[in-house]
Chain A
Amino acid sequence: MSTETLNDAHDSPDGHDAHHDHHIPKGILRWLFTTNHKDIGTLYLWFAFIMFLIGGAMAMVIRAELFQPGLQIVDPHFFNQMTTVHGLIMVFGAVMPAFTGLANWMIPMMIGAPDMALPRMNNWSFYILPFAFIILLSSLFMDGGGPAFGWTFYAPLSTQYSGDSTALFVFSVHIMGISSIMGAINVVVTILNMRAPGMTYMKMPLFVWTWLITAFLLIAVMPVLAGAVTMVLTDKFFGTSFFNAAGGGDPVMFQHIFWFFGHPEVYIMILPAFGIISAIVPTFSRKRLFGYASMVYATASIALLSFIVWAHHMFTTGMPVAAEMFFMFATMLISVPTGVKVFNWVATMWRGSLTFEVPMMFAIAFIVLFTIGGLSGLMLAITPADFQYHDTYFVVAHFHYVLVTGALFSIMAAVYYWLPKWTGKMFDITLGKWHFWCSLISVNVLFFPMHFVGLAGMPRRIPDYALQFADFNKWISIGGFAFGLSQLIFLALIIKACRKIGEPVSDQVWEGAEGLEWEVPSPAPYHTFSTPPLIK
């Protein structure tokens, strides 16, 4: 894609835009009232990082308890709260807001728009999010504790055997959902209406494409989640019987409704990652992305297929064989478009002039490790095998490979890739490499042995385990603590970068980088593309 910026903000000779830069409000009010997409992106990213550390602290509690068999550190009820809230925080508080933050920062710059389409709604969609998580986290301090029914809040666990904090859980999920829906609407409207002249759909960077499709998924399924939690609320507190067999309801129906949301949700957490990797790999291979159009179609077909595979989470609920076969084959079908993507990334690297800067290292780790997670997913899709794997640590290993070494590594890759553009200074590369290698090694010590204990039958979400799993669990916990500590390196690096310590970078930052975001100055000025660029 060759582009040319006309009359870019800082090239303007009359200094009008320089004057404009002086109008950046100062102090806390700037952040409170901001409608600037870059400010809101920064807020989202910091929020996600804080949530990542809080959710990570809960994972440390879980791993400390599981370091050896027996109950030693926390009581089982608190352990259950930790697994539940860890899941909720990481999904809704860390991964999703981090992607939304990246979308806010990058999409307007990538399509040559001056800002998001609905800047004031953008401010709202961020600022209700902290309240959702304050409500959720404060429920941990209530009498009877916070939610302890797993992040999937299956009925009747959540409707008949849960504490009063369920109401707080439901309201916090409502707020998270509203925030996500507003963010998604903003992304769709921005991409549909705000593209610079000449930025046709098939010229959009893949990060924009994957986010457009993700936003449609969000708009389609977050209301279903809202419906599900509302039914849980009325079942628990207002005597309805949606999921209560005694009143004519059906607890299995909860799982159908939940996973009708839940399966598209897992693609919501991975499609933007595909877009990020598709931006980074070509840059450091110094080649165009292989198979751009097939990437777009693969993303769209993954999104469509995600609506017809939900029951593969429910093979053991006693479905008829025909339904199990359908969901098994539909699930396996998804590996075709996903395989297309992995093939295209590898083909992009093939005979490229590769260099291994920190973002590229994370991107390559993503490709390898996400593929491992994808393959264990394929194993789980095989219905008869799933009867053995169901609810074991094999499942935990699977979704942590796709979410930690998948979604999370892609977010880290994205931060390393665009951080110099945001701050104007190169981050501390030594720290970045330490962060990468420590994370890479510890994350595999943490999650790889989970496959083995899972296949050997260790159930998930249980604070104690049989003696034969003790050695593996010791190593898993050591890996967990090391991975947790490694993230403090990342925190140090980010703080250093935010204080603008480092070598100044050029506008292009990376030698092979192409795209509109690399044509604005580094650091990216407060307002970019106030006049649309010309795209050839």
Chain B
Amino acid sequence: MSEQPGSKSTAEKPNLSLENERTEDAQIPKTRAQLASENAKTVKKLVFVVIGMLGFSFALVPLYDVFCDLTGINGKPSNEAAVYESVVIDESRTIKVEFITRTHSGMAWEFSAQTAEIRLHPGEMGEVEFYVRNPTEHDIIAQAIPSISPGIAALYVNKTECFCFKHQPLKAGEEAIMPMKFYVDPQLPKEFTFFTLQYTLYDISATVQPAVVAMDNG
């Protein structure tokens, strides 16, 4: 960026000292040195903006998560275990919670909820078990990702225990029952009478244990 505007033409055009012939006008043209220093200053400012905006684009990643955690608009429930404090159980209403399971494309596990839906009062503990089986011939590490619809309800789901909090390894041919315990916050707005909790299982063996996977497949 170390530009010297017109340094070549200065040598060629000695008659271009701009100070002459400007008597009637108060607006005196800038000298080349003035112009060069002004340009350098402006460039510096603009380069800061460029670097700042590049930083901003990466800052959007944590900002997005913070924004979604605060507002719950993308249906992601908290990824940390909640502590069940003696919550007042709101027996005046019953919430229906439906469970959907799916595996990401290419993930061969069998995965299902033992109960398709449960009904509970806000504040009451609920427990659901999920069944998984690895029918393949190699070990796989899975990660379950929850999603709640409608999204706002995610703010009011408190899980005290969930298989989605950690990786789930299964050896070839193994099966398992994975528990999930949760309660619905009594603050849940009245318009919600039911919501759906979906789990998607992803195969993350390659990212968690690349060396082991490479050996298995090799």
Contact across chains for B29 and A227 when beta carbons are under 8 A apart: no
Interface hits, B1-26 → A, CB 8 Å: 1, 3, 5-6, 8-9, 12-13, 15-16, 18, 21-22, 25
Interface hits, A205-254 → B, CB 8 Å: 219-224, 226-228, 231, 239, 241-242, 245-248, 250, 252-253
Q: How many residues of B contact A (CB 8 A)?
A: 55
Contact across chains for B64 and A253 when beta carbons are under 8 A apart: yes
B196-218 vs A, Cβ < 8 Å mask (1 yes, 0 no): 00001011100100000000000
B42 contacts chain A at the CB level, 8 A cutoff: yes
A185 contacts chain B at the CB level, 8 A cutoff: yes
Take A20-B13, A121-B1, A246-B104 as given contacts and tell me if A224 and B56 are in contact as well, using a CB distance cutoff of 8 Å. yes
**Interface stretch of the complex, out of B46-54, B81-89, B114-122:** B46-54
A118 contacts chain B at the CB level, 8 A cutoff: yes
Contact across chains for A115 and B25 when beta carbons are under 8 A apart: no
Take A117-B5, A219-B49, A246-B143 as given contacts and tell me if A530 and B13 are in contact as well, using a CB distance cutoff of 8 Å. yes
Kindly report which residue of chain B lies nearest to residue A178, judged by CB atoms: B50
Kindly report which residue of chain B lies nearest to residue A224, judged by CB atoms: B57
- The main secondary structure of chain A at its interface with chain B is helix
Contact across chains for A253 and B61 when beta carbons are under 8 A apart: yes
Take A181-B50, A197-B27 as given contacts and tell me if A247 and B204 are in contact as well, using a CB distance cutoff of 8 Å. yes
A197 to B29, CA, bound (A): 6
Contact across chains for A219 and B58 when beta carbons are under 8 A apart: no
Contact across chains for A223 and B57 when beta carbons are under 8 A apart: yes
Contact across chains for A189 and B202 when beta carbons are under 8 A apart: no
Interface hits, B53-86 → A, CB 8 Å: 53-54, 56-58, 60-61, 64-65, 68, 71, 73-76, 79
Contact across chains for B46 and A185 when beta carbons are under 8 A apart: yes
Contact across chains for B35 and A194 when beta carbons are under 8 A apart: yes
A188 contacts chain B at the CB level, 8 A cutoff: yes
Take A220-B53, A223-B54, A323-B73 as given contacts and tell me if A121 and B3 are in contact as well, using a CB distance cutoff of 8 Å. yes
Taking CB atoms, residues of chain B closer than 8 Å to A250 are 64-65, 68, 74, 76
Kindly report which residue of chain A lies nearest to residue B60, judged by CB atoms: A257
A120 to B79, CA, bound (A): 53
Taking CB atoms, residues of chain B closer than 8 Å to A7 are 21
A183 to B61, CA, bound (A): 28
B127 contacts chain A at the CB level, 8 A cutoff: no
Contact across chains for A527 and B9 when beta carbons are under 8 A apart: yes
Contact across chains for B49 and A189 when beta carbons are under 8 A apart: no
Contact across chains for B9 and A245 when beta carbons are under 8 A apart: no
Taking CB atoms, residues of chain A closer than 8 Å to B76 are 250
Contact across chains for A226 and B16 when beta carbons are under 8 A apart: no
Choose among B1, B16, B49 the residue that contacts A531 (Cβ–Cβ < 8 A). Answer: B16
Contact across chains for B73 and A192 when beta carbons are under 8 A apart: no
Choose among A115, A227, A245, A260 the residue that contacts B5 (Cβ–Cβ < 8 A). Answer: A115
Contact across chains for B35 and A198 when beta carbons are under 8 A apart: no
A527 to B49, CA, bound (A): 32
A314 CB to closest chain B CB (Å) equals 12
A515 contacts chain B at the CB level, 8 A cutoff: no
A152-196 vs B, Cβ < 8 Å mask (1 yes, 0 no): 000000000000000000000000000001000100110011101
Taking CB atoms, residues of chain B closer than 8 Å to A192 are 42
A96 to B200, CA, bound (A): 42
A462 contacts chain B at the CB level, 8 A cutoff: no
Taking CB atoms, residues of chain A closer than 8 Å to B68 are 250
A6 contacts chain B at the CB level, 8 A cutoff: yes
Kindly report which residue of chain A lies nearest to residue B207, judged by CB atoms: A239
Contact across chains for B6 and A114 when beta carbons are under 8 A apart: yes
Take A185-B43, A252-B74, A530-B13 as given contacts and tell me if A198 and B27 are in contact as well, using a CB distance cutoff of 8 Å. yes
B50 CB to closest chain A CB (Å) equals 5
Taking CB atoms, residues of chain A closer than 8 Å to B61 are 231, 242, 253
B193 contacts chain A at the CB level, 8 A cutoff: no
Taking CB atoms, residues of chain B closer than 8 Å to A419 are none
Kindly report which residue of chain B lies nearest to residue A184, judged by CB atoms: B46
A26 contacts chain B at the CB level, 8 A cutoff: no
Interface hits, B152-188 → A, CB 8 Å: 152
Show 25 A/B contacts (Cβ-Cβ < 8 Å), sorted by A: A6-B21, A16-B15, A20-B12, A20-B13, A117-B35, A118-B43, A121-B1, A185-B47, A189-B46, A197-B22, A219-B49, A219-B50, A224-B53, A224-B54, A226-B57, A245-B202, A247-B143, A248-B79, A250-B68, A253-B60, A253-B64, A256-B60, A531-B16, A532-B29, A534-B25
Apart from A119-B5, A121-B1, A194-B35: 14 A-B pairs, beta carbons within 8 A: A16-B15, A117-B42, A185-B43, A185-B50, A189-B42, A198-B27, A222-B53, A223-B54, A226-B57, A245-B145, A250-B68, A260-B60, A319-B73, A527-B9
Give chain A's interface residues, CB within 8 Å of chain B: 6-7, 16, 20, 23, 35, 114-115, 117-121, 181, 185, 188-189, 192-194, 196-198, 219-224, 226-228, 231, 239, 241-242, 245-248, 250, 252-253, 256-257, 260, 318-320, 323, 527, 530-532, 534
Closest 10 CB pairs of A and B: A227-B57, A246-B202, A197-B27, A223-B53, A223-B54, A224-B57, A118-B3, A189-B42, A185-B46, A193-B38
